Homo-oligomer: A and B are copies of this chain.
Amino acid sequence: MASEKAGSRVWIVPDCFLPAKSTGDLKSHESNCVLNIGKKPATLRLTAYFENREPTAGFQATCPPRRTIHIRLDSLENRRGERILVGTPFALKIESSVKVVVQHTRLDTTQPALALMTTMAYAAG
How many A residues touch B, CB cutoff 8 Å?
59
Q: Is the CB of B49 within 8 A of A67?
A: yes
Instruction: Tell me what chain A mostly uses at the interface: helix, strand, loop, or mixed.
Output: strand
Q: Mark A58-85, 1 if CB is under 8 A from B, else 0.
A: 0000000011111000000000000000
What is the count of identical protomers in the complex?
A: 4
Residue in A68, A102, A120 whose Cβ sees the most chain B Cβ within 10 Å:
A68
Task: Say yes or no: A124 contacts B67, CB within 8 Å.
Answer: no
A119 to B5, CA, bound (A): 22
Say whether A89 contacts B111, CB under 8 Å: no
Q: In the bound complex, do residue B54 and residue A105 qualify as a contact, i.e. CB atoms below 8 Å apart? A: no
Would A12 and B114 be within 8 Å (CB), given that A6-B125, A51-B70 are in contact? Answer: no
